[in-house]
Structure 1
Amino acid sequence: MQPTTAGMSPASTKATWPLVAVPGQPGAHLSAVPVTEDGTPEVAPVSDRVTGSTDQAPVTDSGQPTGPTGPEESAPATKGADLLTELRSAIARYVIMPSREALDAATLWVAATHLQPAWQHAPRLAVVGPAKRCGKSRLLDVLHDTVHDPFITVNSTPAAIFRSITEQPPTLLVDEADTLFGSPKVAEKNEEMRGLLNAGHQRNRPTTRVSGPEHKPTKFLTFAMAALAGIGDLPDTIMDRAVVIRMRRRAPGERVQSFRSRWDTPPLHALRDRIATWLTPLLDTAARMEPPMPVDDRAADTWEPLVIVADLAGGDWPRLARTACTAMTAHEAGQDEEGGLKTRILTDIRAVFAAYGDPDALPTEHLLSALRADTEAPWAEHGPNGLSPRGLQILLKDYGISSANLRFPDGTQRKGFVRNRFADAWTRYCPEANEPDHIGR
């Protein structure tokens, strides 16, 4: 973007975002996305309950969905599909997302904020990472300029927040959420905030406070979509109501455009306004839609607004939304709340491999023995009997690293870790002193 756009108002800025190549995404190129003045899609008439498809989702013997559901072929692309593609490119311009599915999910979540009165559930967007400087705050910058009516909750009290929520709710944005919930002592002090965020996930869950000179009980609305960014997992009750995006640091060679609000905000606001112009007339349609979902229970409640927006857009978006839903909810299944030490374990494992002469693999028992033998490290006291194989797996799971059955040069076959599985995490989170520190802002 050129600095000359700085003086333009959001209403006068008419920018389109070049498509950004997304790994695994066909058709990305560097031409501009054509848009019209109003961006309104052509939507076929619907009945009182719009299901999006009459086909039944494939299920197992127990009745559980087996995978993405929805139209088998891409629906005709609409102006809305072009707007979502343009929004996805705008996000990818400033932030390296952890996966194609995460980028699609963030795009659909932003669009869904413009139809909040239509939703039964207000999905949270949990933007978390194992360490600092993974791009979490930068993603919130882009969200702030593209969501409906952003409300930054830095240092805001729960009372101030629920008094700001109306029938046309704002979009709550909470940065450094780990400072609210990062330790039991701090979390206890912010229990009211967690209660507000939990209650606001579902419609008709007001909070009651005594207010006014007559001290009458008064009900306040809590329903509003919210994005929360922080280091480490948020409380389970929030993560269970969220689309979870697990950010990571940029690796060497990964580049993003710097974000300068003076000239980047106006075109993002213009894009936001065109998305709102497209979606606002579709509010009643969206409220009647009940799309087939590849998941059920609370996961379906959380993802339904994103899938509805995708179905309204057409094109490839119905398929992309359900693929992201299936992949990301499956990844979160069984995730536990974990403590820190994740960067420390990477650094110490690299030192152990170096001490053994950097072999291609090490048996798990050798790796654990060396870790526990370091008197200055916490591993000898990690758990009742020191760091265990299970404890090691838990610390490494966010990095996608696990042990495997390996055959070693002495002819034995044992559980162990392959060195090159750590290479990407070492580069991102604990680069050597002589390596350039390519990190996200």
Structure 2
Amino acid sequence: MSFEELEPWDAPVNIEPIANQIENLLVTHCVMTDQERVATTLWIISSYCNNSFRIFPRLTVISPERRCGKSTLLEVIEAVTKNALLTSNLSTAVLYRLTETTKPTLIIDEADTFIKNSDPQMKGVLNGGHNKSQAKVLRCEGDNHTVKVYDAWFPIVLASIGTLYDTIMDRSITINLIRKKPSESVMPPPQDLKAESLEIRQKILKWANDESTNIESNIHRPAYKGNDRATDNWTPLFTIAREISEHWFNKCEHAYHLLMHEVEMELPTLLLSDIRESFKKWKSERISSSELLNLIKQDETAPWESERLTAAKMASTLKPYGIKPSDIRFGKKVLRGYSQSQFTDAFERYLPRAPY
């Protein structure tokens, strides 16, 4: 397999016109929201600087069904990223051996089918490669079973019909494509788009090489919105946007606030959230397990009936948080129950600030 030997542009580069050019390519060929175009443009440019960051997100492109423009978007991304490798299938061994010869931008189409049918090690490599310090794969090789360390730190784009498994989505900037309306008009990419985009790639590489020290010294984390992982994922985009211009930084902030949806809570966290709401209704420091369970199940939109939540199952779910029921006197009766103060620490650590 041969990769492009990309040479940087031979003169200083103003990166803002390049960002505008990439954004215009997305306008011309892809049906996306303005905020998705901004996020995609910034991810592409920041991928040239991924070594400057501790965390680098996957760019995950999803759609509800076929013919929503994923392949076209991948063509555009392939044309303007460094050492792009577009594939719909590869083995785990190939994935971590890619860096033996190059640092690719790996673009995986049909990731829903590909990852679903892959071995569990593939998921581990994809998850671990999100964090620079964890992007290492250890394998025993040769007759002497010598341990060899592979570096799995490189930018990855994933395209899927429907969402991928939670750990990947949690590590991604997500682009939600939708099908083009009859009234919407975009042009198919030219056959030689990658060749036409050589100057873009060279100029981004030159700028990234020149600005690497400055970027590393000026990492910018976005405002916290109750999700540490999202803050980590968007940090490269905010950092690059601030280096481009104030205009692009403002566009990045707008995209972040619109695209960074509140992450759906996992069941244990949802249980904590519902318990917090139940205590607000109960307005007492202590509550029996049965009363707490009744309050939680009053919300018919919650999954607790289908999950067959019982007092015992609730206690088991709360145990990892260091919360256990105890015998509490309620009038003449002694019942198993909880005190609100038992939950204070868990509420502060695992739930967003309560709206009062």
Q: TM-score, normalised by structure 1?
A: 0.56
- Of 156, 159, 163 in structure 2, the residue corresponding to residue 226 of structure 1 is 156
- Of 84, 99, 104 in structure 2, the residue corresponding to residue 170 of structure 1 is 104
Contact kept, 8 Å, 1:294 with 1:326, in 2: the verdict is: no
- Of 204, 224, 227 in structure 2, the residue corresponding to residue 275 of structure 1 is 204
> How many percent identity over aligned positions?
26
Shift of 1:390: 8.3
C-alpha RMSD over aligned residues: 2.7
How far does the alpha carbon of each residue in 1:322-368 deviate from its partner, in whole angstroms, 9 at most, with x for none?
Answer: 221222112x52289xxxxxxxxxxxxxxxxxxxxxxxxxxxxxxxx
How far does the alpha carbon of each residue in 1:54-91 deviate from its partner, in whole angstroms, 9 at most, with x for none?
Answer: xxxxxxxxxxxxxxxxxxxxxxxxx2222211110012
Contact kept, 8 Å, 1:39 with 1:83, in 2: the verdict is: no
| Count of aligned pairs | 263
Q: Tell whether 2:38 aligns with 1:109.
A: no
Aligned AA for 1:200? G
The match for 2:114 is 180
- Of 128, 135, 143 in structure 2, the residue corresponding to residue 199 of structure 1 is 128
- Of 7, 13, 24 in structure 2, the residue corresponding to residue 89 of structure 1 is 24
How far does the alpha carbon of each residue in 1:371-401 deviate from its partner, in whole angstroms, 9 at most, with x for none?
Answer: xxxxxxxxxxxxxxxxx9889xxxxxxxxxx
The match for 1:128 is 62
Shift of 1:270: 1.8
How far does the alpha carbon of each residue in 1:182-205 deviate from its partner, in whole angstroms, 9 at most, with x for none?
Answer: 5xxx3xx43221111100000122
For residues 100 and 48 of structure 2, what CA distance do their matches in structure 1 show? 14
Q: Tell whether 2:260 aligns with 1:329.
A: yes
Instruction: Judging by fraction of residues, say which structure has more helix.
Output: 2
The match for 1:261 is 191
For residues 197 and 324 of structure 1, what CA distance do their matches in structure 2 show? 25
- The verdict on how the C-alpha distance between 1:207 and 1:140 changes in structure 2, with shifts beyond 3 A counting, is same
User: Which secondary structure does the structure 1 equivalent of 2:49 belong to?
Assistant: helix
Contact kept, 8 Å, 1:124 with 1:241, in 2: the verdict is: yes
The match for 2:217 is 288
User: Which secondary structure does the structure 1 equivalent of 2:31 belong to?
Assistant: coil
- The verdict on how the C-alpha distance between 1:113 and 1:83 changes in structure 2, with shifts beyond 3 A counting, is same
For residues 154 and 263 of structure 2, what CA distance do their matches in structure 1 show? 25
- Of 92, 105, 110 in structure 2, the residue corresponding to residue 158 of structure 1 is 92
The match for 2:249 is 318
- The verdict on how the C-alpha distance between 1:86 and 1:39 changes in structure 2, with shifts beyond 3 A counting, is farther
Aligned AA for 1:308? T
Shift of 1:290: 2.4
Q: Which runs of 5+ in 2 are unaligned?
A: 267-299, 304-356
Shift of 1:315: 3.4
Contact kept, 8 Å, 1:117 with 1:168, in 2: the verdict is: no
Shift of 1:39: 5.0
Shift of 1:166: 5.8
- The verdict on how the C-alpha distance between 1:167 and 1:199 changes in structure 2, with shifts beyond 3 A counting, is farther
Aligned AA for 2:97? R
The match for 2:11 is 38
Runs of 4+ in 1 over 6 A off after TM superposition: 388-391
- The verdict on how the C-alpha distance between 1:292 and 1:301 changes in structure 2, with shifts beyond 3 A counting, is closer
Q: Which runs of 5+ in 1 are unaligned?
A: 1-9, 12-35, 41-78, 337-387, 392-441
